[in-house]
Structures are given as structure tokens and as C-alpha cells.
Chains A and B, each alone.
Chain A
Amino acid sequence: MNNFLFELKEGLLISLRAIRANKVRAILTTLGIVIGIASVVLMSTAIKGIDNAFQKGVASLGSDNLYIDKWEWFNNDIPWWEMRNRRNLSLDEYKKYKDLAKLPVATAPTVWSNQTIKYRERSVEFIILQGTNEEYIKTTNLSFSGGRFFNEIESNGGREVVVLGSEVAKKLFPRGGALDQTVKIKGHKFKVVGVLSEQGSWVMGNFNPDNQAFLPIQNVFKYFQSENLRSVTFNVRAANSTMVEAVKEEAVGIMRRVRGLKYNEMNDFSINQQEALLKTINQTVGVIQIAGLFITGLSLFVGAIGIMNIMFVSVKERTREIGIRKAIGAKRRTILGQFISESAIICLIGGMIGLVIAIILSLVINQFLPTSVQADAFILAIVISIITGILSGFAPAYMAAKLDPVEALRYE
């Protein structure tokens, strides 16, 4: 054991001397490993950040929510054309459902329309207008930076009021003061009664409430599109997560009645849950993970080839030294161990440098994507660099170990 440690120490000293003697060459070779390890660590860190952002985005939907919809959102079984041929869900059906449903704490119909909102000379294009009712706010975790959501009277009366997402408000009113102003949508005037605070889940894109505006659902049908153009989605909130299943069962029963389905007919609607979204996201992140790590793994592979190359050169250069060592009694495995540990040490040094670079760069990435290098990335970097060193050092070390002492001693 002591002997092994001595050889390891000796191997380390020899390799450090060899590195010092060939600085430029060593730096260039190690660079491959540095870049490889840095990119593997950064990639795994970035993927973690993406995953976190997705999870946060999903969490903003609320785990106690159900969405009754014409479409199954994250569907693997039902063909899309079958869903397309389903009857749209209507506002009337929503009202029937609402009257019959006892379990939900809040229900809201939603229908969307893509519109441009104008305030004086400013305008914001391609905004998702959500037509809904006053209970919508109870089915979400949204909060306000000013004002309020529209109330039951405004909703039922179809008043021309609107609630703006933070990003929309910022673009229309860069200096603030959106409340009580009148904005124009497709030429119709709407009074701003509330502005949402920033929700900041960028993964949701246009479905991020920051980029949306909310108004009573009747107004969507009155001003922007016919009732039949798009199916209405019912947002349903259960009292808590243990109630979700019961609410779902009830919803299926009520909806089948409302839609007049016979016992042998399939459901022509779907009840969507955050869980399904999570599943899809996990799959997506998994794919990104595999692809990302594969690509960065390639750069590590290139680095490993560099190390292997330099180790071959090193073995060639030190043929005589190997001959001496063998002549005075070094066994094959001793020589093998010496060169493998040398390459492992070079890779480890490269890996450590790469790790430091990754940590610095992750601070930069952190500006866009909240993330940080985790402890497991440390271990990953160290283990991967040592394994890379051992694998790339093996062939040169084997060549060294196999050298014939007579020829090695004769080598000039």
C-alpha cells in the first residue's frame, strides 16, 4: 500500500516535472480537458436551471387545478384528429357545469383571442387576451402590483374592463400609471382596473401571465370572435390536492351529462392536470439532458484524444527511462500504473481548472437563468476527469508496459 502511494507520488512528481518541462504543450493538451469538463459542468448546470424554471412555471399553474378542455394537453393515446372532431365546449356548458358542481372552490371559463392592445401611440401586438369571469383569479396564484381583478358585476354585465399582465403594462405605460387609463383593443375602449405583478416564469412564453390581458368573457365573443371559433376551457380549483381526484370524478360525471353522452360513448372532452404537464416537461428535460450531455461529452472525448496523443509522445520520449526501470526490476503493471496515474493526474488538473471556469461562467449564466454549480457537479467533474485520464492513458501506458527492455535501453 505504502509502495503504491509512493509510486503514485512518484508518478505525480514525474508528471508535474514533465508538464513544467513542456509548458506550452501541456497547456494546449490540458486545454481540451479544461474545455470538456467546463462544458459538461456548465451544461449540467444549465439543464438544472432550465428544469428549475419549468418546475416553477408549472407550479404557477397550481397543483390543485384541473382544466376541462376539448383537447388533451399532453396526450399520447388519443389521435389529434379525433380530438379536433370533438364538439367545442361552450360557455353555456360551463354554466351548466358550474350549477351542478359542488366540490370545486372556484371555476372559471377561459377563451383566448390574439389581439393588439393600444394606448395612444403605443401598441403591443400578439397579446393573448383571456376572456374569463371573476372567479378566474381564485383558480390562479396571481398577485397584483396595482388595482384588482374585475368583479362579478363587471363580469356578468360584460363591462369594458381589462386587467393587464406586468409586461403588457410596462410596454404600454413605461412610466407607470396604467390604472384607470383607457386602452383600445381592435378599436374598442377598455378601462384598466388592475395590473398584475411580475410572475416571471419565462418558459411559459406567451402563456406567461406577464404577456397576457384579462377581460370578461362575453366581451371576447361580442368584439373579437364568434362563440364557436374556439372551445372554452374550464379552470377548476379543488380545495386542496387530496380533493383533486374527487373533483375530477365529479367533473367527468357532470360533463358527460351536460354533453349528453350515452353510456357506451367515449368522453368527448379531457380533464387536464398539472401532473401531466410535469410528465411531459420531465420527458422534454430528459431529452435536452441526453442531447446536451452527449454534445458536451463529444468535446470531452476530443480532449481525451489530446491527452492520449500526448501520452503516446511522452512514452516515446521516455523509452529509455522505461528501459532503465524495467532493467532494474519494474514489472509491467508498475509501468502501466505509472503512466495511467500520470495521465489521470493531468486530466484531474485540467478538470479542476475546468470546474473553476465553469463556476465563474455559471455566475454569468445565473443572470439569465437562475442556477448554480451544485455539489454533485463537483463530484461529477472530478470523477469524469479521472476516468477520462485513466481511459485515455491506458493505451499509451500499455504500450510502455509492453516495451522490450533490451530495445528500450538501446533507444536514443
Chain B
Amino acid sequence: MNIINIEHIAKIYQVGSEEVHALRDVSLKIDKNEYVAIMGPSGSGKSTLMNMLGCLDTPTKGIYDFKGNNVSQMNDNELAAIRNKEIGFVFQTFNLLARSNALHNVELPLIYAGVSSSERKERARLALEQVGLSDRIHHKPNELSGGQRQRVSIARALVTKPSIILADEPTGNLDTKTGEDIMALFNDIYELGNTIILVTHEEYIAEHAARIIRLRDGLIEKDEMVTKRYVPKKNGASKV
């Protein structure tokens, strides 16, 4: 069954007196345990599509169906609940709470989900272990390297066991070697049965995915399976 089913969505922004068509007419389906990369130059609408997929924003036109829920009609609080339960975000700039340690950062989505304190701590610890950071749980973001910070944010994305993991340029702020490690971690997560949507403008990063969707001027230019998928060596992640 499809997790995501998008039909003819469009997003129009009003900038002054001008209408900006960020997305014109986009339809796509994403299945469970897919590994999809969304590519496109800046201004192609990939950020808008990502916000849409992440339920951070709703389309102006069209239908967005997420596991049978009509997201396009939802209000703020319903969107927040969907994001909390179904979507794990990984950002380019990590977006961790600077004043909280790794454990608390990973715990945060569970707080909003109303999980009890002891269960929360246990699950957060497991998620950090899964990304290979069990020895860093009490460190604050400024005491961690870029790669470690990204691992914390991946642990935060995993901890709620979401339906999709949405990664926006996850290697954009990392050096090539560390980026490769993070991509290996994503591959492990994918092989464990998770659904990953990767937004990037780097061809070699996109090639880690099994399917690439290319956007241009608010339309899908190409949607194809990757014939020679790049599979990195196992690195960093342990089996759960």
C-alpha cells in the first residue's frame, strides 16, 4: 500500500502583487520501504515539495493523502500530530536544541507524543545506540562533531518509529568522509525496512537512493528507478 499519494498538487505563493507558482502540478506515489531522492536545481520547487511531504505546509490545490489521511484539509494541530507520529525529520543544519544534551534532544518528540518519562528515556537511549552514539548521550550539541550531531538528529527522527524519514540535504554541512558515513547509516536504516525520502542537489548523494525524482520549474521532469544504485559499506549503525 502506498504511504504517500499525491495527486495534482500545486502551491502558489503571493509575493506582493505577483503570484509565484512554486509547484505547478505534481503527482507521485511513494510505497513503504522505498528509498527516494528528490533532486532539482534551486527554484525547482523541491523545498516546497519537501515541506508538503513533511506536512509542514499544505498545498493550494490538489490532494495529499498520507496513509489514508487527507493532509491537504488538516489544521495546524492535526498536522503537528501527523508530523510527530509519522514523520522523522533530518535537516541540513541538524536543528538540535543547543542547550539540551543528546538524550533530551532525542526524547523531545516523545514528550510531545505523551510517552511516559521512563519509556521515553529507554527509547531515546536505544535510538542513540542504533546510530552509534551510546557513549555520547549526555553531550550537548556544541560538544559533538558535525557527524555526531547529524547522528543525534537521525536518532531523533527514528525514535518515534515514523512511517517516513525525510532528510533535507543531510550531508550538506559535512565533509565528504563524514557525509559518506551518514549515507551509510541511512542505507542501514533503509535495509531495516524504513521509508526514506532524501532531498539533495548532489548527484552522487542521490545515487544512494533506489529511485530519483527530478523537479524543474514546479513540475516533475523525470521519475525513474536507479539502475546502478550505490550501496555503501556498513558503517556505524548496529542492528536493532
Contact = CB atoms under 8 A, between A and B. Distances in A.
Nearest to A330: B112
Interface string A302-334: 000000000000000000110111111111111
Contact of A409 (B91, B113, B114): B91
A333 B116 CA distance: 19
B80 interface: yes
Contacts of A323: 95
The DSSP consensus for interface residues of chain A is helix
Interface string A221-242: 0000000000000000000000
A331 B95 contact: no
Given A2-B116, A406-B51, A406-B57, A327 B95 contact: yes
A33 to B, nearest CB: 24
A368 interface: no
A6 interface: yes
A320 B83 CA distance: 17
Interface string B77-111: 10011011100010100011101000000001101
Contacts of B84: 328-330
B111 A7 contact: yes
Contacts of B117: 2, 6
A23 to B, nearest CB: 16
A14 B112 CA distance: 16
Interface residues of B, number: 27
A2 B118 CA distance: 11
Contact of B99 (A7, A17, A326): A17
Nearest to A14: B99
B156 interface: yes
A22 interface: no
Contacts of B85: 329
Contacts of B156: 328
Contacts of A331: 76-77, 80-81, 112
Contacts of B108: 325, 328
Contacts of A334: 112
A204 to B, nearest CB: 62
B218 interface: no
A326 B54 CA distance: 12
A329 to B, nearest CB: 2
A3 interface: yes
Contact of A329 (B91, B95, B112, B116): B112
A405 interface: yes
A3 B111 contact: yes
For chain A, give the interface size range: 20 to 34
Given A17-B99, A320-B95, A329 B56 contact: no
A326 B87 CA distance: 12
B123 to A, nearest CB: 14
A381 to B, nearest CB: 30
A2 B111 CA distance: 10
B77 A328 contact: no
Nearest to B51: A406
Nearest to A327: B89
A10 B54 CA distance: 26
B34 to A, nearest CB: 22
Nearest to B113: A329
Contacts of B111: 3, 6-7, 10
Contacts of A14: 99
A329 B83 contact: yes
A334 B113 CA distance: 11
A409 to B, nearest CB: 7
A326 B55 CA distance: 11
A333 B76 CA distance: 11
B109 A329 contact: yes
Contacts of A2: 116-117
Contact of B89 (A6, A17, A328, A330): A328
A327 B84 CA distance: 8
Contacts of B89: 327-328
Nearest to B84: A329
A328 B87 CA distance: 8
Interface string A382-412: 0000000000000000000000011001000
A327 B112 contact: no
A47 B83 CA distance: 56
A10 B51 CA distance: 28
A10 B97 CA distance: 12
A321 to B, nearest CB: 6
Contacts of A320: 95
A306 B86 CA distance: 41
Given A329-B80, A331-B80, A409-B91, A324 B56 contact: no
A380 to B, nearest CB: 34
A329 B77 contact: no
A329 B81 contact: yes
Contacts of A6: 111, 117
Contacts of B160: 329
A17 B109 CA distance: 21
A131 to B, nearest CB: 80
Contacts of B81: 329, 331
Interface of A: 2-3, 6-7, 10, 14, 17, 320-321, 323-334, 405-406, 409
16 contacts: A2-B116, A6-B111, A6-B117, A14-B99, A323-B95, A325-B108, A326-B80, A327-B89, A328-B84, A328-B89, A328-B108, A328-B156, A329-B80, A329-B113, A331-B77, A332-B80
Given A326-B83, A329-B85, A330-B84, 5 more contacts: A2-B116, A328-B83, A328-B84, A328-B156, A409-B91
